[in-house]
Amino acid sequence: MENVNFPKEEKSQKELNGNTVISFELDRVSDISIEIYDLKGSKCATVSGKNMAAGERQITINTFDLRIAPGSYVYHLQVTNDTGSATECRTLNII
């Protein structure tokens, strides 16, 4: 499935107010789910159920609300639509 594109440069960023932004591009309308894991493999949070239109998109995750401590994590972005599903894994550093 080739309907999600991540920029070659990491665009996830930490902002001062506790929000982390994950940027990506969709080729078609898709359901999005993000799971965040610590480096030991334990799931820390899930953000799911977002239906997003095609185009450049961003999901903002409030790390304070999800009680995610500063550190390094791995997130899985699951994209599902009428052509199937795909998962992209990236690192996420929260300062």
Give the residue-averaged pLDDT of 13-30: 78
Give the residue-averaged pLDDT of 32-60: 91
- Structure tokens belonging to residue 30: 């898709």
CA distance linking residue 6 with residue 31, whole number of Å = 16
Other residues' Cβ atoms within 10 Å of the Cβ of residue 87: 13
Place 23 in a pLDDT band, splitting at 50, 70 and 90. Answer: confident
Name beta bridge partners: 13.
21
Task: Tell the residue number behind the tokens 């799911």, with chain if given.
Answer: 48
pLDDT of 8 over the 80 cut: no
The pLDDT of residue 21? 85
Place 1 in a pLDDT band, splitting at 50, 70 and 90. Answer: very low
Give the residue-averaged pLDDT of 71-95: 91
- Is pTM, for the whole model, over 0.95? no
